[in-house]
């Protein structure tokens, strides 16, 4: 087990966003977290990466309790997040953005190898490596955010809405790349509005509703679950 979350609760002031979430991610898996707007998907990701403190519950990553660990130390341990809304540094070049993803690392040769790997996954980023991040198209910025997260060589890659705002052809491409990243050995936890694609690519999935996990299963089980179909796949 790479990640184990137990009974997690999280508050934004007086608003309780998570009401006792428990989930696991095994090494080598792609796990999808689906749910409607406001269900708590992004909040769960923030709790895992340490961007938001939790009220109660525990997060164990790779055998270590990281529940109260600083976010930057979690990156060193192997958790990396590609945030919703991309968050690339607009004034920095593509290359500088990618280098920022590796700022906790001291192994130069490894960083250079991972840069090559990111450019292989995203040839477009290599073509544009000297261009400012802010001048890229939406899809290219999305790819840059994923590439930057990979530059810390994470054991667990957290992807928050990687397909958001992308044209249909690019959506297919980004999911292909996620599958490839996983096949190269990175475990992935994926938050998606695009439940159809996410579940068809994921080994397992969880359905989140108003801060609670209401269903879990393999990607295929959830894809064929009548309630999931009706609520999230747009099929009655
Ligand atoms: P979306 O797809 O819209 O991002 P989500 O499932 O990721 O939805 P969250 O963003 O995690 O949902 O939000 C969960 C709940 O917490 C919602 O009720 C939301 O209004 C609330 N919330 C999120 N961020 C904050 C914040 N910074 N302050 C107060 N409440 C917040």
Q: For ligand 1, say whether the CB of 124 is within 6 Å of any of its atoms.
A: no
Mutate to test the pocket of ligand 1, among 8, 12, 212, 213 (most ligand atoms within 8 A of CB): 12
Tell me the per-residue pLDDT of 40-70, one tens digit each, with 9 for 90 and over. 999 999 999 999 999 999 999 999 999 999 9
How much is the mean pLDDT over the chain?
93
Burial zone of 50 (CB within 10 Å; 0-12 exposed, 13-18 middle, 19+ buried): buried
The pLDDT of residue 148 is: 92
49 lines ligand 1 (CB under 6 A): no
Predicted-complex ipTM score: 0.93
Residue 1 in this model has a pLDDT that exceeds 60: yes
Task: Name which CATH class applies to 27-49+74-232.
Answer: alpha beta
Domain boundaries, the chain: 27-49+74-232
* pLDDT band with cut points at 50, 70 and 90 for residue 193: confident
Convert the pLDDT of each residue in 59-104 to its tens digit.
999 999 999 999 999 999 999 988 776 788 999 999 999 999 998 8
Give me the pLDDT at residue 208, please. 96
């Amino acid at each position: 087990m790479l990640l184990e979350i137990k009974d997690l609760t999280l508050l934004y002031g007086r608003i309780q966003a998570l009401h006792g979430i428990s989930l696991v991610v095994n090494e080598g898996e792609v796990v999808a977290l689906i749910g409607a707007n406001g269900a708590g998907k992004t909040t769960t990701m923030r709790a895992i990466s340490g961007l938001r403190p939790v009220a109660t519950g525990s997060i164990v990553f790779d055998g270590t309790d990281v529940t109260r660990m600083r976010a930057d130390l979690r990156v060193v341990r192997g958790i990396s997040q590609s945030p919703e809304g991309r968050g690339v540094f607009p004034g920095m070049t593509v290359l500088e953005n990618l280098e920022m993803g590796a700022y906790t690392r001291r192994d130069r040769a490894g960083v250079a190898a991972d840069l090559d790997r990111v450019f292989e996954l995203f040839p477009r980023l290599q073509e544009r490596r000297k261009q400012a991040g802010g001048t890229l198209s939406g899809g290219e910025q999305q790819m840059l955010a994923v590439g930057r997260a990979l530059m810390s060589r994470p054991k667990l890659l957290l992807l928050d809405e990687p397909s958001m705002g992308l044209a249909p052809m690019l959506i297919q491409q980004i999911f292909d790349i996620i599958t490839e990243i996983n096949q190269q050995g990175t475990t992935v936890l994926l938050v998606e509005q695009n439940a159809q694609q996410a579940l068809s690519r994921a080994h397992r999935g969880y359905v989140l509703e108003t801060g609670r996990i209401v269903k879990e299963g393999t990607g295929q089980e959830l894809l064929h679950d009548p309630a999931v179909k009706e609520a999230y796949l747009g099929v009655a």
